Amino acid sequence: MSVDKKRVVYAFPHLGAGAAVYNAWSKYAQQQPLLLFKAIEIPGRGALGGKPHIQELDELVNTLADALHLHYLSTQEQCQDWITFGHSFGGVISMAVNQLLERKYGMRPTFSIISASPAPCVQAQENLHLLSDEAILEKIRRDKGTPEAVLNQPMIANRLIKQLRSDYTVKSQFSALKHMRVKQPLTLITASKDFDVPEQDVFAWQEHSTGRTKHVEVAGDHFAIYDNWDVVEREMLQGLMSEQPVC
Protein backbone atom coordinates (compact mmCIF):
# COMPACT_ATOMS: atom_id res chain seq x y z
CA MET A 1 0.00 0.00 0.00
CA SER A 2 1.12 3.53 -0.67
CA VAL A 3 2.02 5.51 2.44
CA ASP A 4 1.38 8.77 0.61
CA LYS A 5 -2.33 8.49 1.30
CA LYS A 6 -4.20 8.09 4.55
CA ARG A 7 -6.47 5.39 5.90
CA VAL A 8 -9.86 6.59 7.13
CA VAL A 9 -10.93 5.21 10.50
CA TYR A 10 -14.65 5.38 11.25
CA ALA A 11 -15.22 5.02 15.00
CA PHE A 12 -18.66 4.14 16.39
CA PRO A 13 -19.46 5.12 20.01
CA HIS A 14 -20.66 2.88 22.81
CA LEU A 15 -24.23 2.78 24.06
CA GLY A 16 -25.56 6.20 25.08
CA ALA A 17 -22.46 8.03 23.86
CA GLY A 18 -21.75 10.27 20.89
CA ALA A 19 -18.75 11.23 18.78
CA ALA A 20 -17.35 13.29 21.67
CA VAL A 21 -16.28 10.10 23.44
CA TYR A 22 -13.48 9.95 20.85
CA ASN A 23 -12.24 13.53 21.29
CA ALA A 24 -8.95 12.41 22.85
CA TRP A 25 -8.32 9.84 20.13
CA SER A 26 -9.10 12.42 17.45
CA LYS A 27 -6.31 14.60 18.86
CA TYR A 28 -3.88 11.70 19.09
CA ALA A 29 -4.67 10.66 15.52
CA GLN A 30 -3.71 14.10 14.25
CA GLN A 31 -0.13 13.17 15.13
CA GLN A 32 -0.33 10.03 12.97
CA PRO A 33 0.15 10.98 9.29
CA LEU A 34 -1.21 7.67 8.02
CA LEU A 35 -4.64 7.99 9.62
CA LEU A 36 -7.69 10.19 9.10
CA PHE A 37 -9.84 9.62 12.19
CA LYS A 38 -13.58 10.20 11.87
CA ALA A 39 -15.81 9.69 14.90
CA ILE A 40 -19.35 8.77 13.88
CA GLU A 41 -22.04 11.02 15.36
CA ILE A 42 -25.42 9.61 16.29
CA PRO A 43 -28.54 11.67 15.41
CA GLY A 44 -29.93 13.43 18.47
CA ARG A 45 -26.59 14.09 20.16
CA GLY A 46 -23.46 16.20 19.76
CA ALA A 47 -23.21 17.99 16.43
CA LEU A 48 -26.51 16.35 15.42
CA GLY A 49 -28.29 17.35 18.62
CA GLY A 50 -30.98 19.12 16.62
CA LYS A 51 -31.95 15.90 14.87
CA PRO A 52 -34.53 13.53 16.36
CA HIS A 53 -33.34 10.40 18.15
CA ILE A 54 -33.57 7.27 16.00
CA GLN A 55 -35.04 4.25 17.75
CA GLU A 56 -35.39 1.88 14.80
CA LEU A 57 -32.35 -0.29 14.05
CA ASP A 58 -32.84 -0.31 10.27
CA GLU A 59 -33.31 3.46 10.13
CA LEU A 60 -30.20 4.10 12.22
CA VAL A 61 -28.05 1.74 10.16
CA ASN A 62 -29.27 3.26 6.89
CA THR A 63 -28.68 6.81 8.14
CA LEU A 64 -25.14 6.07 9.32
CA ALA A 65 -24.27 4.08 6.20
CA ASP A 66 -25.34 6.91 3.90
CA ALA A 67 -23.39 9.45 5.96
CA LEU A 68 -20.25 7.29 5.94
CA HIS A 69 -20.54 6.73 2.20
CA LEU A 70 -20.76 10.46 1.51
CA HIS A 71 -17.84 11.21 3.80
CA TYR A 72 -15.63 8.57 2.21
CA LEU A 73 -16.39 9.91 -1.26
CA SER A 74 -15.15 13.30 -0.09
CA THR A 75 -11.80 11.83 1.01
CA GLN A 76 -10.91 10.02 -2.22
CA GLU A 77 -8.03 12.33 -3.14
CA GLN A 78 -6.23 11.94 0.19
CA CYS A 79 -7.25 8.47 1.33
CA GLN A 80 -6.60 4.97 -0.01
CA ASP A 81 -8.76 2.72 2.15
CA TRP A 82 -10.95 2.64 5.24
CA ILE A 83 -11.63 0.60 8.35
CA THR A 84 -14.12 0.68 11.21
CA PHE A 85 -13.79 0.61 14.98
CA GLY A 86 -16.68 0.02 17.35
CA HIS A 87 -16.80 -0.34 21.12
CA SER A 88 -19.52 -2.45 22.77
CA PHE A 89 -22.90 -1.33 21.30
CA GLY A 90 -20.88 0.54 18.67
CA GLY A 91 -19.26 -2.71 17.57
CA VAL A 92 -22.61 -4.19 16.59
CA ILE A 93 -23.78 -1.00 14.88
CA SER A 94 -20.50 -0.70 12.96
CA MET A 95 -20.84 -4.22 11.60
CA ALA A 96 -24.47 -3.73 10.60
CA VAL A 97 -23.38 -0.57 8.76
CA ASN A 98 -20.53 -2.49 7.10
CA GLN A 99 -22.92 -5.15 5.87
CA LEU A 100 -25.28 -2.54 4.40
CA LEU A 101 -22.45 -0.56 2.78
CA GLU A 102 -21.35 -3.62 0.85
CA ARG A 103 -24.89 -4.44 -0.23
CA LYS A 104 -25.84 -0.87 -1.14
CA TYR A 105 -22.60 0.68 -2.40
CA GLY A 106 -20.18 -2.21 -2.93
CA MET A 107 -17.96 -0.81 -0.16
CA ARG A 108 -15.99 -3.10 2.13
CA PRO A 109 -13.50 -2.01 4.81
CA THR A 110 -9.97 -3.42 4.72
CA PHE A 111 -10.74 -4.82 8.18
CA SER A 112 -12.80 -3.99 11.26
CA ILE A 113 -11.88 -3.65 14.93
CA ILE A 114 -14.48 -4.67 17.50
CA SER A 115 -13.93 -3.90 21.18
CA ALA A 116 -15.76 -5.43 24.17
CA SER A 117 -18.79 -6.20 22.04
CA PRO A 118 -20.81 -9.40 22.35
CA ALA A 119 -21.70 -10.82 18.95
CA PRO A 120 -25.38 -10.68 17.96
CA CYS A 121 -25.56 -14.47 17.71
CA VAL A 122 -25.00 -14.77 21.48
CA GLN A 123 -26.80 -11.65 22.73
CA ALA A 124 -29.85 -12.31 24.86
CA GLN A 125 -33.03 -10.33 24.25
CA GLU A 126 -33.13 -7.27 26.51
CA ASN A 127 -35.87 -4.73 27.13
CA LEU A 128 -33.91 -2.13 29.08
CA HIS A 129 -35.69 0.62 27.16
CA LEU A 130 -38.73 -0.14 29.31
CA LEU A 131 -36.93 0.84 32.53
CA SER A 132 -37.94 3.99 34.41
CA ASP A 133 -35.72 7.07 34.23
CA GLU A 134 -34.59 6.38 37.80
CA ALA A 135 -33.62 2.80 36.97
CA ILE A 136 -31.66 3.89 33.89
CA LEU A 137 -29.81 6.51 35.95
CA GLU A 138 -28.93 3.89 38.55
CA LYS A 139 -27.64 1.59 35.82
CA ILE A 140 -25.42 4.39 34.51
CA ARG A 141 -23.95 4.69 37.99
CA ARG A 142 -23.33 0.95 38.26
CA ASP A 143 -21.64 0.83 34.88
CA LYS A 144 -19.13 3.47 36.09
CA GLY A 145 -18.63 4.90 32.63
CA THR A 146 -19.82 8.41 33.56
CA PRO A 147 -18.39 10.60 36.37
CA GLU A 148 -20.73 11.11 39.33
CA ALA A 149 -20.23 14.88 39.04
CA VAL A 150 -21.80 14.72 35.58
CA LEU A 151 -24.74 12.62 36.75
CA ASN A 152 -25.45 15.13 39.52
CA GLN A 153 -26.29 17.78 36.90
CA PRO A 154 -30.01 17.28 36.08
CA MET A 155 -29.89 18.64 32.52
CA ILE A 156 -26.96 16.43 31.54
CA ALA A 157 -28.36 13.41 33.37
CA ASN A 158 -31.71 13.77 31.61
CA ARG A 159 -30.00 14.01 28.23
CA LEU A 160 -28.01 10.86 28.97
CA ILE A 161 -31.16 9.02 30.00
CA LYS A 162 -32.84 9.94 26.68
CA GLN A 163 -29.79 8.83 24.71
CA LEU A 164 -29.57 5.55 26.60
CA ARG A 165 -33.28 4.82 26.23
CA SER A 166 -32.97 5.43 22.49
CA ASP A 167 -29.99 3.08 22.21
CA TYR A 168 -31.61 0.48 24.46
CA THR A 169 -34.57 0.51 22.06
CA VAL A 170 -32.22 -0.09 19.13
CA LYS A 171 -30.38 -2.80 21.07
CA SER A 172 -33.65 -4.62 21.73
CA GLN A 173 -33.79 -5.21 17.96
CA PHE A 174 -30.33 -6.82 17.67
CA SER A 175 -31.92 -10.26 17.32
CA ALA A 176 -32.52 -9.27 13.69
CA LEU A 177 -28.72 -9.41 13.22
CA LYS A 178 -28.19 -12.97 14.47
CA HIS A 179 -27.45 -14.16 10.94
CA MET A 180 -25.47 -11.09 9.84
CA ARG A 181 -22.39 -11.90 7.73
CA VAL A 182 -19.47 -9.77 6.55
CA LYS A 183 -16.36 -10.73 4.60
CA GLN A 184 -13.57 -8.56 6.02
CA PRO A 185 -11.00 -9.69 8.64
CA LEU A 186 -11.79 -8.80 12.25
CA THR A 187 -9.60 -7.71 15.15
CA LEU A 188 -11.36 -8.59 18.41
CA ILE A 189 -10.33 -6.66 21.52
CA THR A 190 -11.15 -7.79 25.04
CA ALA A 191 -10.21 -6.40 28.47
CA SER A 192 -8.70 -8.52 31.24
CA LYS A 193 -11.19 -7.36 33.88
CA ASP A 194 -14.29 -6.82 31.77
CA PHE A 195 -16.94 -8.52 33.88
CA ASP A 196 -19.75 -7.16 31.67
CA VAL A 197 -18.81 -8.94 28.45
CA PRO A 198 -17.34 -12.47 28.65
CA GLU A 199 -14.41 -13.11 26.35
CA GLN A 200 -16.21 -15.94 24.58
CA ASP A 201 -19.06 -13.58 23.65
CA VAL A 202 -16.56 -11.39 21.79
CA PHE A 203 -14.93 -14.40 20.14
CA ALA A 204 -18.39 -15.32 18.80
CA TRP A 205 -17.91 -12.60 16.18
CA GLN A 206 -16.05 -15.29 14.23
CA GLU A 207 -19.50 -16.64 13.36
CA HIS A 208 -20.35 -13.36 11.62
CA SER A 209 -17.36 -13.06 9.28
CA THR A 210 -15.83 -15.23 6.58
CA GLY A 211 -12.55 -13.35 7.06
CA ARG A 212 -9.73 -14.12 9.47
CA THR A 213 -9.89 -13.01 13.09
CA LYS A 214 -7.23 -11.77 15.48
CA HIS A 215 -7.44 -11.34 19.26
CA VAL A 216 -5.89 -8.53 21.31
CA GLU A 217 -6.27 -8.09 25.08
CA VAL A 218 -5.82 -4.89 27.09
CA ALA A 219 -5.63 -4.57 30.86
CA GLY A 220 -8.62 -3.13 32.68
CA ASP A 221 -12.41 -3.05 32.72
CA HIS A 222 -15.13 -2.68 30.09
CA PHE A 223 -14.06 0.88 29.20
CA ALA A 224 -10.29 0.27 29.39
CA ILE A 225 -9.90 0.60 25.63
CA TYR A 226 -10.23 4.38 25.88
CA ASP A 227 -6.98 4.48 27.87
CA ASN A 228 -5.09 2.33 25.37
CA TRP A 229 -4.63 4.52 22.30
CA ASP A 230 -1.17 3.03 21.69
CA VAL A 231 -2.69 -0.43 21.28
CA VAL A 232 -5.57 0.85 19.16
CA GLU A 233 -3.28 2.90 16.92
CA ARG A 234 -1.06 -0.12 16.30
CA GLU A 235 -4.06 -2.19 15.26
CA MET A 236 -5.47 0.58 13.07
CA LEU A 237 -2.17 0.71 11.17
CA GLN A 238 -2.28 -2.97 10.19
CA GLY A 239 -1.19 -3.50 6.61
CA LEU A 240 0.12 0.03 6.09
CA MET A 241 3.64 -1.17 6.88
CA SER A 242 5.06 -4.16 5.04
CA GLU A 243 5.80 -5.98 8.31
CA GLN A 244 2.25 -5.57 9.59
CA PRO A 245 -0.19 -8.21 8.30
CA VAL A 246 -3.91 -7.51 8.22
CA CYS A 247 -5.31 -9.63 11.06
pTM: 0.92
For the stretch 74-109, what's the b/e string if a residue is b when 16 or more beta carbons lie within 10 angstroms of its beta carbon? Answer: eeeeeebbbbbbbbbbbbbbbbbbbbbbbeeeebbb
Tell me what pLDDT residue 151 has: 85
| pLDDT of 1 above 50 | no
The architecture in CATH of the region 6-121+179-236 reads 3-Layer(aba) Sandwich (3.40)
Sheet with strand 112-115: strands edge to edge: 35-39, 6-12, 79-87, 112-115, 186-191, 213-218
Give residue-wise pLDDT tens across range 169-216: 999 999 999 999 999 999 999 999 999 999 999 999 999 999 999 999
**Confidence tier at 130 by pLDDT (50, 70, 90):** confident
pLDDT in tens, 59-92: 999 999 999 999 999 998 999 999 999 999 999 9
